[in-house]
Structure 1
Amino acid sequence: MTKGTPIRMIVMLLLVALVFGGIYGFQVFRNKMIDKAIRGHGMPPQTVSTMVVEPSEWQPKIEAVGTLRAVQSTNLTTEVSGLIKAIHFKSGESVKAGQVLLELNADPLKAQLPQLQANVTLAEQNLQRDRAQLKIQAVSQAVIDSDEATLKSAKSQLDAQNALIAQKTLRAPFAGVLGIRQVDLGQFLAAGTAVVSLQHLDPMYLDFKIPQSQLHLIQIGDALTVETNAAPGQTFQGKIQAIEPQIDTATRNLTVRAEIANPDGKLLPGVFATAQLRQGNPESFLTLPTTAIAYNPYGSTVFVVVDKGQGADGKPQQVAEQRFVTTGMTRGDQTAILSGLKAGETVVTAGQIKLRNGTPVLINNTIEPSNNPHPEVKDE
C-alpha cells in the first residue's frame, strides 16, 4: 500500500460527508419553510377553476335511449310436419292477414274426406228415416237418440279431418312485412321449424327506461319526438302508450312504452332511438357543470369559495367550503341544482379533488370545464 492511499480515502470520506450533510441541510431548510407556511396560513393554497352560479331557463323534459320493436312480431312455423308442396311468398314481401304463405302435402288427409262425408250423409238419412218411423210408433225414442249421436260423431270426425288439413297450410296471422325465407320447395319440414319472420311495422313501439325521479313528468298519452341515426335528420312523432306499474328495485328505473308512427317503414325492430318528452312551461334553475358535483353515497356535494378577509400577508384570503346540494335533471353537460346553493355564489368547477373544508384556494379560470346544455359529438 502506497503512502498516498490513506490521504485519498480521507478525501473521499470528506466528500461523502459533505454530500450527505448538504442533503440533510436542504431537508431541514425545506421542513422549516413548510412549517412556516403552515403556521402562517394553516395550509398551502390550492389552484382551482370556478364559476358564479346563476339561474337559467330550463325546459323540463325527459331524454332517454330505448329500443324499437314491432307492434306485432313473430317467427312463423307450422303446427305439423310434412313435405313442402308449395310456397306462395317472396322474401321481404308485404302480406295481408290470412294470406296463404306455404302448403304442406295434405293429399293423404284429403283422400279420406269422401269417406267421412259419406258417413255424415248416411247418418243424416238414418236419422230422417227413424224420425218418420217414430211418428207411427215403429221405433222407440232410444233409436232416435242413437241416430243423433251417430250423426254428431260423423260430423265431428269430418271437422277433425278438415282441421288437420288446415294445419298443412300456413297463413299470415296479421298484415305485415315478411323477412328472409328459411325453407325451400320439396323440403321436409318438421313441426315448429321457423319458416319466415313477420313484422307489423306501423306503428312501432319504443321501450325505454327513466329514473324514478322523473315519474311525475310522464303520463299516458303524452306526445314525444324520436330520433335515430338509422334515419339521420328525421324526426318521428309518437305518444306514451303504456307505463310499467312497478319500478325495478335493482336500478330504480321505470319502463315506458311509446307508440311511434312509421308510415314509410323507415324504423325497424331492434334499432336504438332517442326519445325526447317535453313537459310543462320553462322553469328557472341554478345550473352547474356536472363535473363540479361530487356524487357520494351520503349525498351530493360541491365546494363554494368563501371570502375570509385578509390573510397574514395582508392579501384577501379565500377558502373552500363544502356544501351539500340536491340535484335535479341533467341537460347536456349541466345539472340542475334544486337546493343548497344561492344565485351569485362562486362554486369550484375543477380541482376540487384536492380540497377539504377550509382549504385556501387560488382561482385560475384559464381552463374551464365544458358547460354546454346541448353538446355535439364532433369527428376529428
Structure 2
Amino acid sequence: MADLDSGSSTAHPAAAPQAPRKRRLLRPTLIMLAVVLLIVALIGGVKFAQISKLIAQSKVPLPAAVVTASKAQYQDWQPSVAAVGSIKTVRGVDLTTEVGGIVRSIGFKPGQEVAAGDLLVQLNADSDIAQLRALEATAALAGTVLKRDRAQLTIKAVSQAQVEADEADLKAKLAAADQQRALVAKKSIRAPFAGRIGITAINPGQYLNPGDKIASLQTFDPIYIDFNVPQAQVQQVAIGQSVTVSADGLGQQSFSGRVSSIDTQFDPNTRNVTMEATIDNPKHSLVPGMFARAVVASGGNQRYLTLPQTSVTYNPYGTTVFIASEGDDGHGQKRLSAQQTFIQTGPTRGDQVAVLSGLKEGDLVITSGQMKLKNGSPVQIEERGAPLNDPAPTPQEH
C-alpha cells in the first residue's frame, strides 16, 4: 500500500506541467482564426461596397440613342416590273448599193429627214441608159416583124412556126430591155422608207463598190425598247400593258408606250426573256442604241403601308424593324424606347418598301441608327438627316 501510495504521489507532479503547454498551443490557433475572420470581414466589406456602387449606378438612366424615325402610312401603290434595256428603231438600215459606179450627185444632207422614195445618191448611168435605148429599139423592131408576119400568115405567105418564133424573139428582146431598165434604176439610190439619214462619208466623183455603206437611215417615232424580264416576273407582264421609259441624259423626261412583243424562249444562261415595247417618241429624244430603263405597270392599284427601305433589317431568322414607343423609364418619367418586331415585306419602289404584316398605320418606325439599339433602348428622335421615303428618288447634290 505504501508503495502504491508513493507511486501515485509521484505521478501527479509529472501531469501538472501539461496544462500550461496546452494553453500555449491553443493561443496561436485562436490568433490565426481571428486573423482569418478579419480577412473574411474585410473582403466581405469590399464586395458589399462594390455591389452597392453597381446597384446605385444601375439606377442612373441610360443616355438615349439619337435616331431618325417616320410613321408607317398607307399609300397608293402601282405594282410594276422594272428592267433595263436598249433603244432600237422600228425601221433602220445601212444604205448601200447593189451595183458599182461613180457618184454623180448626193441628194441629202447628214441628219436630214427624208421621205420614202426620195433620191439619195445618183450614180453615173450614161452607158447603161444608152444600152437600154439600143435594147428598146431592138424590141421595137421585133414587134414590127411579128406584126408583119401575122399579116402574112392570113394569106399563107409564112408558116405558123415563123410567127411563133417571132413572138418568142419579141419576148426575149423585151425582157432584155427590162433587165437593162432595172440596172439603170439601181443607179438611182432612193430612200426605202421615211426617216432620218445619218452621217455619210461618200463624195461626188467617188467610185462605189457593191455593198459599200452610204449612210444609215432610221425611223424615230415610234421607237422600240428591248428589255429582259426574269422568269419569276414574266406572268406579271402581258402584251398591251403600259410602259414608262426614262434614259440618262434626258433629265426628268419620261416616255410612254405599250408592250408589243414577248420572245418565244428564255435565255438558258440567265433565265430571262426578252420583251419589246413600242414607245412614242415625237421629239426624237430617244436615239437607237441608248441605255434606258423600262417600268411596266402590272395589275391594278394597291394600298400598302410604306416605309423607307433603310428602316428594315434583314436577318437569317427574319425581317425586323424597331418601333419607337413611349413608356416609363423606371424613374417616373416618360421616355421613348425601341421595341424590335418582325414584319413581312412586299414589293419595293424607289426608296420605299411595302409592309404586308407586322405593323399598323401610325407606328413610329426608326429609319436609321438601328445598329446601336436593342429591345428597350431609350431613343431620341432627330428630324434632320432622315432617310427619304420617295417612290421616285433623284440624286441629291449638296
Does TM, normalized by the shorter one, top 0.5? Answer: yes
Aligned residue number for residue 104 of structure 2: 85
Q: Deviations over 1:275-313 (max 9, x none)?
A: 5555665422233443455779x99744678x9xxxxxx
Query: Which one-letter code corresponds to 1:258 in the other structure?
Result: T
Structure with max Cα Rg: 2
Q: Tell me the number of residue pairs that the alignment of Structure 1 and Structure 2 aligns.
A: 329
Aligned residue number for residue 131 of structure 1: 150
2:88 and 2:224 in contact (8 A); partners too: yes
Aligned residue number for residue 78 of structure 2: 60
2:247 and 2:292 in contact (8 A); partners too: yes
Q: C-alpha distance in 1, partners of 2:160/2:259?
A: 61
C-alpha distance 256-112 of structure 1, shift in aligned 2 (>3 A):
closer
C-alpha distance 127-350 of structure 1, shift in aligned 2 (>3 A):
same
Shift of 1:257: 0.9
Aligned residue number for residue 336 of structure 1: 354
Q: C-alpha distance in 2, partners of 1:157/1:166?
A: 14
Q: C-alpha distance in 2, partners of 1:254/1:180?
A: 31
TM-score, normalised relative to structure 1: 0.68
2:79 and 2:300 in contact (8 A); partners too: no
Q: C-alpha distance in 1, partners of 2:274/2:365?
A: 33
2:121 and 2:189 in contact (8 A); partners too: yes
Q: Deviations over 1:14-58 (max 9, x none)?
A: xxxxxxxxxxxxxxxxxxxxxxxxxxxxxxxxx997968845213
Q: C-alpha distance in 1, partners of 2:185/2:192?
A: 14
1:177 and 1:200 in contact (8 A); partners too: yes
Q: C-alpha distance in 1, partners of 2:338/2:285?
A: 58
Structure 2 residue corresponding to 1:146, chosen from 147, 150, 165: 165
Query: Which one-letter code corresponds to 2:102 in the other structure?
Result: L
Shift of 1:100: 0.8
Structure 1 residue corresponding to 2:394, chosen from 365, 376, 379: 376
Shift of 1:157: 1.1
Task: Report SS of the residue matched to 2:219.
Answer: strand
Q: RMSD between aligned alpha carbons?
A: 4.5
Q: C-alpha distance in 2, partners of 1:74/1:273?
A: 22
Query: Which one-letter code corresponds to 1:160 in the other structure?
Result: Q
Aligned residue number for residue 174 of structure 2: 155
C-alpha distance 290-119 of structure 1, shift in aligned 2 (>3 A):
same
1:241 and 1:257 in contact (8 A); partners too: yes
Structure 2 residue corresponding to 1:71, chosen from 90, 98, 108: 90
C-alpha distance 281-244 of structure 1, shift in aligned 2 (>3 A):
closer
Q: C-alpha distance in 2, partners of 1:352/1:252?
A: 36
Shift of 1:121: 1.6
**5+ residue gaps, structure 2:** 1-64, 326-336
C-alpha distance 347-233 of structure 1, shift in aligned 2 (>3 A):
closer
C-alpha distance 293-84 of structure 1, shift in aligned 2 (>3 A):
same
Q: Deviations over 1:51-107 (max 9, x none)?
A: 688452132143554433332222211112221111122222222111111111222
Aligned residue number for residue 257 of structure 1: 277
Aligned residue number for residue 185 of structure 1: 204
Q: C-alpha distance in 2, partners of 1:234/1:112?
A: 57
Q: C-alpha distance in 2, partners of 1:114/1:253?
A: 57
**5+ residue gaps, structure 1:** 1-46, 308-316
Q: Percent identity?
A: 39
Task: Report SS of the residue matched to 1:201.
Answer: coil
Structure 1 residue corresponding to 2:191, chosen from 156, 167, 172: 172
Aligned residue number for residue 32 of structure 1: none
